[in-house]
């Protein structure tokens, strides 16, 4: 007997059953769906749950947060930081217990990335290299391309720091260096000191006082160089307090604008050489000029530092003019009270001494190593003036003789 929905019955009837239009999802896949109309989920305020073996594995909550096994959460806007996740070296996303220490780095499968909530940190384990712009990093952190470091978001010119370990580097092991050239770079030998090295050897450093040392690790001046310095056009000091020499090795060059230049040294005497070999012998063998500590200058010889001659020259001196400043000229010869020797007295003196009066003899010139040019010029002028007086007197006698001869005629 067949009874329909209205309660009507019949003993004999033919019934045709047809499959209604389906709006469910097939376990073998569905076709002809519309993303805007067909979906898997809920339309009420209820979470959507996935299970395997009747155990919940994933839940999409009604607020959009996705949870895996009630532990891992995926939510861009969530403020819940009570979980830490990491990706292991096999690419697996895993969860750490709440308040977990850095234990994944101690396990057999170290994480490639880990995020800790306190403090907020993103890190890798030591054996994991990080590459940006490259899939084959050659160091712990390898960047191909430009990098910007700033102290605050969006401020490229704000303060930032790249820090190495304090007092942990050396000239042979600099902190900041170049790939495949690790013995050349910037190192930090001590607090507030910057060192520069090449070929594992320190070349320069800047100390806490701002002194720069080249070839020395203990600079005592603003620029302290232990070695040869080539300066092409320049001065050591211009204006300011003059340089002073404090010990025998000091050498200073001071220029007061275009007024004068001062060479200062306690290393005496100062000698100038022109025969030094610039590649092996910087001392030279023959001094072409010497300045003694007494101010005596020798040219072509080593001067006698105790001499009264300020300039001593071995060789000839060529000059257009020579000006000698000496005592007063012998104009006293022309005074009326000047005691001029008679010609007879002069003859007797020359016969006895073999030289003019007031003029040194050859022995005196030899014993005194020459003559005083100014003094000799004065004495020679005196003799010329005396000779002039003799000529005048002789001329007067000639005139008188001529008058007598004329009168006798």
The answer to whether 375 and 309 are in contact (CB under 8 A) is no
SS3 378: helix
Task: For 88, list phi and psi in degrees, rounded to 5.
Answer: -80, 180
Strands 223-225 and 237-238: unpaired
Task: For 265, list phi and psi in degrees, rounded to 5.
Answer: -160, 150
Each residue's pLDDT expressed in tens, for the chain with a length of 409 residues: 667 677 777 776 676 777 777 677 778 888 888 888 888 888 899 999 999 999 998 988 888 888 887 666 665 444 555 555 566 656 566 665 544 444 556 554 555 555 555 555 666 666 677 888 888 888 878 888 888 776 665 555 556 666 666 666 888 888 888 877 888 999 988 888 999 999 999 999 999 999 999 999 999 999 999 998 876 555 566 666 655 555 545 566 666 666 666 676 666 788 888 765 554 445 556 778 888 888 899 998 888 888 888 889 988 999 888 888 777 888 899 999 999 999 999 999 999 999 999 999 999 999 987 888 888 888 999 999 999 999 999 999 999 999 988 888 7
The answer to whether 96 and 85 are in contact (CB under 8 A) is yes
Q: What is the pLDDT of residue 357?
A: 92
Q: What is the pLDDT of residue 102?
A: 46
Task: For 175, list phi and psi in degrees, rounded to 5.
Answer: -75, -40
- Residue 236 is given by DSSP the state S
Closest alpha carbon to 172 in 186, 183, 185: 183
Q: How many helices, marked H, and strands, marked E, lie in the chain?
A: 3, 25
- The Cα 273–Cα 316 span in angstroms is 19
pTM of the model: 0.44
Q: What is the pLDDT of residue 386?
A: 93
SS3 string, 32-83, reads: CCCCCCCCCCCCCCCCEEEEECCEEEEEECCCCCEEECCCEEECCCCCCCCC
**Would you list the DSSP string of 250-266?**
-EEEEEETTTEEEEEES
Q: What is the pLDDT of residue 108?
A: 47
């Amino acid at each position: 007997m067949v009874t329909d929905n209205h309660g009507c019955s019949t003993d004999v009837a033919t019934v045709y059953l047809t499959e209604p239009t389906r709006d469910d999802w097939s376990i073998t896949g569905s076709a002809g769906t519309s993303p805007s109309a067909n979906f898997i989920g809920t339309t009420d305020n209820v979470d959507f749950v996935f299970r395997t073996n009747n155990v919940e594995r994933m839940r999409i909550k009604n607020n959009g947060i996705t949870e895996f096994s009630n532990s891992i959460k995926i939510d861009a806007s969530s403020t819940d930081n009570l979980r830490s996740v990491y990706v292991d070296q096999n690419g697996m996303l895993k969860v750490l217990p709440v308040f977990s220490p850095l234990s994944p780095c101690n396990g057999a499968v170290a994480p490639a990335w880990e995020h800790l909530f306190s403090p907020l940190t993103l890190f890798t384990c030591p054996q994991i290299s990080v590459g940006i712009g490259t899939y084959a990093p050659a160091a712990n952190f390898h960047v191909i391309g430009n990098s910007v470091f700033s102290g605050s978001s969006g401020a490229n010119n704000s303060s930032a720091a790249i820090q190495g370990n304090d007092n942990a580097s050396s000239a042979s092991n600099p902190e900041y260096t170049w790939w495949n050239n690790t013995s050349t770079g910037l190192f930090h030998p001590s607090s507030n000191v910057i060192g520069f090295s090449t070929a594992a050897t320190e070349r320069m450093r800047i100390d806490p006082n701002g002194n720069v040392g080249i070839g020395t690790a203990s600079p005592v001046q603003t620029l302290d160089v232990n070695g040869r310095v080539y300066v092409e056009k320049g001065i050591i000091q211009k204006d300011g307090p003059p340089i002073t020499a404090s010990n025998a090795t000091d050498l200073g060059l001071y220029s007061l604008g275009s007024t004068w230049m001062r060479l200062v040294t306690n290393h005496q005497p100062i000698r100038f050489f022109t025969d030094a070999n610039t590649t092996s012998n910087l001392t030279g063998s023959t001094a072409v000029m010497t300045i003694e500590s007494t101010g005596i200058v020798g040219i072509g010889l080593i001067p006698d530092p105790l001499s009264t001659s300020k300039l001593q020259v071995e060789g000839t001196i060529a000059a257009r003019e020579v000006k000698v400043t000496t005592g007063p000229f012998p104009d006293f010869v022309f005074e009326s009270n000047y005691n001029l020797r008679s010609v007879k007295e002069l003859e007797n003196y020359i016969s006895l001494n073999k030289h003019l009066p007031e003029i040194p003899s050859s022995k005196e010139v030899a014993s005194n190593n020459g003559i005083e040019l100014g003094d000799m010029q004065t004495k020679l002028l005196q003799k010329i003036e005396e000779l002039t007086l003799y000529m005048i007197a002789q001329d007067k006698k000639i005139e008188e003789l001529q008058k007598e001869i004329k009168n006798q005629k």
